[in-house]
Chains A and B, each alone.
Chain A
Amino acid sequence: MKTIRTKEDYLQSLRELGSVIYFNGQRVADITTHPAFIPHINAAAKTYELAQRPESEDLATAISHLTGKRINRFTHIHQSVEDLIKKVQLLRLIAHETGSCFQRCVGWDAMNATYMTTYEIDQKHGTQYHARFVEFLKRIQSENFMLVGGMTDPKGDRSLPPAQQEDLDLFTHVVEKNDKGIVIRGAKAHQTGGANSHEILLMPTQAMRPDDADFALVAAVPLNAPGVVQIFGRQTNDERKLTGGMDAGNPDYGLVGGETLIVFENVFVPWERVFMLGETEFAGLLVERFATLHRQNYGGCKGGVSDILVGACALASEMQGSAKASHVKEKLAEMMHLAETLYAGSVACSAMGSKTASGAFYPDPLLANCTKHNVTRHIYEIARLAHDVAGGILATMPSEKDLNSPEVGGYVRKYMAGVKGVSPENRMRILRLIENMTSGTALVESMHGAGSPQTQKVMYGRLGKMDMKKKMAAKLAGVQ
């Protein structure tokens, strides 16, 4: 397989892969020509395109510590604090190009978490997982593949552990082991970029107990392996993408990542692709590391997406004649403040990162969790301010077809007028972009992507050093 460099290489690789994918009740033969998938493919393709551009290669590429070759940064294992910071900078940069999720960070975080954790499993158990994973990683770096970070299981009854579920397939697990490999069943839910990735790196979804050994699995599976079936999720206003044009809001790019439910129906995985199996005591550590690395990202990508939204709101207010109102200026400043606060958190957790036993660098977990927790709030507040500044027209605007209708197009132009000289069409385009970036699916990603808010809150209990805080307070107060 040759290295994927350009967007065309990437599209060709997806055509050759031919994963089994369903959307809206039908099998999709070629996602690269299907309008529901093209916007998401365009967004992911940016991770390839920017690595080719002199203006962005400093962030979009890195030198592999395994081969010494220049590689796409999305396949790199972080070797320093500077690498961690560059990761966040890169995410902001790409978000400026796409205004939406570009999907490839999840697999990147999965690779980094697996790299660190397999090293430690081998130290304790004398297993060969790390060496196997390094060989796998070298191939991913050389082919420049896109990986899904496959953590979240469907989970069924959330009050029960995996082994006690009525249907064991609600957590991905091993059903057979033989001298060649293992056979797995189950599914991973909400898999970002699943349809347009090459492989999935499976990880356990949560800490595991000793009797959950068959669920404590880390393995890589090509997405065209026999028995793998993907079902593409619906998103807010996704039918507008099918017709394209202005009503889609951000017509060339997706709304969030384009997530699939990935089903594993007795899928064979050879041993060289198994990187953990049964070491239940490491499941929690792996989950925590993946979560920290993923939570580190959100001030980068959501900060970048918010930059676009601020710009769109500023343009809308200029077009509508409200830009000089002091409360509008204040609201735009507040939106920027919230976005930069998110970015600051991502940079801070990177700057305070440290080296793991494997040599790979890891962000400060408390600060990374704090950043993602802010995302679950600030993005909603930024969207609220955007709705305020843009006006009720966001919810009631006529369609592009009405704008172009011989019968009513004149009315739409006349009554969509704003400041003299502003084209009603441009005003409508900007308003549609704001609608697209602040509604439904776009917000839910900020809430649950990389974990629901409570999974970040619990980290304060674990990492918040409460005993020291109490001691400091007691000392100042003179408590004996």
Chain B
Amino acid sequence: MRVALKFCGGCDPGFERGEYWQAIARAAGPEIEWARLEEEGCQAVLLICGCDTACPQKDMPPGLRQVCLKDDRLAPGQVVKKILQKE
């Protein structure tokens, strides 16, 4: 599945967003092809936000399914399942 990755800006995040994404990408392996939000053909967007405000959430393109993470409590494998709608 082609999935857009979008981080919030990270003004005062509660966890290491970059490291969390790397763990998610490792868990996903080849099942997810990561893209930038501007790129065509994405079926979902993974938003990784440092706090509950989740600033970029309101600017997401309508119609694109969102998985929005505001903390790193969910195990990376669970996040992948959520993105792939396998749960």
Contacts and interface: CB of A to CB of B under 8 A. Distances in A.
Contacts of A96: 12
B61 interface: no
B77 interface: no
Contacts of B55: 58, 89
B46 to A, nearest CB: 12
A93 B7 contact: no
20 contacts: A54-B5, A54-B36, A55-B7, A55-B18, A56-B7, A56-B9, A56-B10, A58-B56, A59-B9, A59-B10, A59-B11, A60-B9, A86-B9, A88-B11, A89-B11, A89-B55, A92-B11, A93-B12, A304-B12, A307-B12
Contacts of A59: 9-11
Nearest to B18: A55
Contacts of A88: 11
Contacts of A56: 7, 9-10
A93 B5 contact: no
B57 to A, nearest CB: 11
Main secondary structure of the interface of B (DSSP, over half): mixed
A58 B5 contact: no
A78 to B, nearest CB: 15
Interface in A53-67: 53-60
B8 interface: yes
A339 B18 CA distance: 25
Nearest to A307: B12
A262 B19 CA distance: 43
Contacts, number: 42
Contact of B11 (A53, A57, A90): A90
B17 interface: yes
Main secondary structure of the interface of A (DSSP, over half): helix
Interface of B: 5-12, 17-18, 36, 55-56
Interface string A324-338: 000000000000000
Contacts of B5: 54
Nearest to A340: B12
A426 to B, nearest CB: 21
A59 B9 CA distance: 5
A86 B56 CA distance: 11
B83 to A, nearest CB: 17
A54 B11 CA distance: 13
A309 to B, nearest CB: 14
Contacts of A93: 9-12
Interface in A78-119: 86, 88-90, 92-93, 96
Contacts of A58: 6-10, 55-56
Contacts of B10: 55-56, 58-59, 93
Contact of B9 (A89, A304, A307): A89
Contacts of B17: 55
Contacts of B7: 54-58
Contacts of B18: 53-55
A96 B16 CA distance: 13
Nearest to B48: A55
B36 to A, nearest CB: 8
A50 to B, nearest CB: 9
In order of increasing CB-CB distance, the 5 nearest A-B pairs are A59-B9, A89-B11, A58-B9, A55-B7, A92-B11
Contacts of B9: 56-60, 86, 89-90, 93
B24 to A, nearest CB: 13
Interface string A36-74: 000000000000000001111111100000000000000
A428 to B, nearest CB: 26
A341 to B, nearest CB: 14
Nearest to A300: B11
A87 to B, nearest CB: 11
Nearest to B53: A89
Given A57-B9, A89-B9, 14 more contacts: A54-B7, A54-B18, A55-B7, A55-B18, A56-B7, A59-B9, A59-B11, A60-B9, A89-B11, A89-B55, A92-B11, A93-B9, A93-B10, A307-B12
B69 to A, nearest CB: 13
B50 to A, nearest CB: 9
Nearest to A86: B9
Contacts of B12: 89, 92-93, 96, 304, 307
A424 to B, nearest CB: 28
With a 10 A CB-CB cut-off, give which of A53, A57, A58, A93 has the most chain B CB atoms: A58
Contacts of A54: 5, 7, 18, 36
A57 B10 CA distance: 9
A55 B9 CA distance: 6
A56 B55 CA distance: 12
